[in-house]
Amino acid sequence: MVALGLVALAGSFGSPTEGSIATRSASSASGIAKIKHVVVIMQENRSFDSYFGTFPGADGIPRGVCIPDPRGGCVRPFHDGSDRNFGGPHASINAVRDIDRGAMDGFVGSAVRGTLGCGSRNDPYCVRHGVGRDVMGYHDGRDIPNYWAYARNYVLQDHMFEPNASWSLPAHLFLVSDWSARCSVKDAPMSCVSAPNHPAEPPDFKGNHKHTTPSYAWTDLTYLLHQQHVSWRYYVMKGGQPDCADDSATSCKPRAQSAKTPGIWNLRPYFTTVRQDGQLGNVTSLRNFFGAARNGTLPAVSWVVPNDRVSEHPPSRVSLGQAYVTRLVNAVMRSPDWSSTAIFLAWDDWGGFYDHVDPPKVDGAGTAFAFPGSSSARMRGAGTWITRR
């Protein structure tokens, strides 16, 4: 982890504006004792090297890299200023291929193979436009100036690893419960077994052929918060989600998403503990996040998930995602709660994009970073920690 100086950034998308330097808190608390509010912002499908591979001082792209192309030759990392990227397939089998026993040289091959018979960009096993070179492209401060500003002025985590090497649904399950599983009996936690790549899916997801409603019966983090009377909210942005209502479709328009529509990015309503504790009302609209920030009433723990348009999930525009995240961060920084808030910004999986670090190997009962182990490999992701000094 690379620790950097802390300066508050405000203003609109682009660069910090006037009034962006925060004043020192008058509170006598120091260190971790200052933190009363934690905000977790989860974006989609970017590796560390694809966003911060050339960031000064970070463990970035090494010199001389050239990843084999099954069509011949090899592809070197290159600056990609495109606002739309396509990435590569990113299910568990693709992680194994990309990592290639630590050689970290399978990314182009996975992307090339992923074009065969592929129709949906939301299918983690394939990517429609993944012609190979795209996964070796990286962005820098010219393309994502605010993200790089956060990295310069706060903390950039360059050894943070995805808890399981797979796609969005398992990653989001880990985000809220530290596990990805299948439960054979509804609301029966002892019937649940690890499923790092194929947890039970929402009824509208194309892999759920029987259109069954998943039962996530194990203990999630909000159960522990509820038991200790710690407030929380799960904020969902209205718009689209990467689900296909027709399970036989090879492509689809993003399905409607809101706080009232569970899906692969809105999993809380499927958790037994959330329903039984009467906490469904804590899954709420993103507009309530802005209201809470403005009024100084942020809960102790907030999770914020995007819609498809601003998620940075390829091929959604990078600029729209950065603008959305900047708006969230600015809302907190202008809040009465800012002096006691920490913001964690991360991307849920590597999205098939190149990264040079061989992930730590753990067994099913081990740990990597801060999560219980659930697979033999983990992919490195980008992440920043933003807090007021």
What is residue 34's predicted lDDT score, i.e. its pLDDT?
A: 87
Domain-located, residue 98? no
Domain-located, residue 130? no
Lowest mean pLDDT among 194-203, 222-231, 268-277, 302-311: 194-203
Domain-located, residue 11? yes
Considering its fold, how many domains does the chain have in total?
Answer: 1
- Give dist(CA 369, CA 6) in Å, integer: 23
Confidence band (pLDDT; 50, 70, 90) for 6?
very low
Average pLDDT, the chain: 81
C-alpha dist (Å) from residue 72 to 27, 101, 169 = 61, 22, 34
Lookup: tokens for 362: 């753990």
Confidence band (pLDDT; 50, 70, 90) for 329?
very high
What is residue 259's predicted lDDT score, i.e. its pLDDT?
A: 83
- Give dist(CA 190, CA 176) in Å, integer: 19
- Give dist(CA 161, CA 148) in Å, integer: 19
Confidence band (pLDDT; 50, 70, 90) for 324?
very high
Domain-located, residue 105? no
Q: Which residue did the predictor score with more confidence, 269 or 167?
A: 269
- Concatenating the DSSP letter of every residue in 252-312 gives -PPEEE-TTS-BTTB-GGGBHHHHHTT-GGGEEEHHHHHHHHHHT---SEEEEE--GGGS-
Distant-in-sequence, close-in-space partners of 233: CB < 8 Å, separation ≥ 6? 282, 283, 284, 288, 289, 292, 299, 301, 302, 303
**Is cis: bond before 315, omega within 30 of 0?**
yes
Domain hosting residue 226, numbered range: 2-60+140-387
Domain-located, residue 310? yes
Residue 248 in this model has a pLDDT that exceeds 70: no
Span 332-379, pLDDT tens digits: 999 999 999 999 999 988 989 999 999 887 655 333 222 222 222 345
Domain-located, residue 221? yes
Domain-located, residue 116? no
Lookup: tokens for 24: 């020192």
% of the chain exceeding 90 in pLDDT: 53
What is residue 90's predicted lDDT score, i.e. its pLDDT?
A: 85
Paired residues of 384 in beta bridges: 156, 345
Residue 25, helix vs strand vs coil = coil
- At position 203, the amino acid (one-letter code) is P
| pTM metric for this prediction | 0.84
- Concatenating the DSSP letter of every residue in 193-250 gives EE-SS-----TTSTT-TT-PPP-B-SPPHHHHHHHTT--EEEEE-SEEES--SSTT-S
Report the 10 Å Cβ neighbour count for 176: 21
Residue 89 in this model has a pLDDT that exceeds 80: yes
Span 136-150, pLDDT tens digits: 999 999 999 999 999
What does the DSSP 8-state code read for residue 140? -
The CATH number for 269's domain is 3.40.720
Confidence band (pLDDT; 50, 70, 90) for 315?
confident
Span 196-236, pLDDT tens digits: 888 988 887 766 667 788 999 999 999 999 999 999 999 99
Task: Tell the burial category of 124 from Cβ atoms under 10 Å away from its Cβ (0-12, 13-18, 19+).
Answer: buried
Domain-located, residue 229? yes
383-387 β-sheet, strand order: 2-3, 155-156, 383-387, 341-347, 37-43, 301-305, 232-236, 283-285
What is residue 5's predicted lDDT score, i.e. its pLDDT?
A: 24
Lowest mean pLDDT among 37-41, 109-113, 252-256: 252-256
Q: Which residue did the predictor score with more confidence, 241 or 183?
A: 183
Residue 70 in this model has a pLDDT that exceeds 80: yes
Question: Locate tokens 């962006």: which residue?
Answer: 20
Distant-in-sequence, close-in-space partners of 344: CB < 8 Å, separation ≥ 6? 38, 39, 40, 41, 383, 384, 385, 386
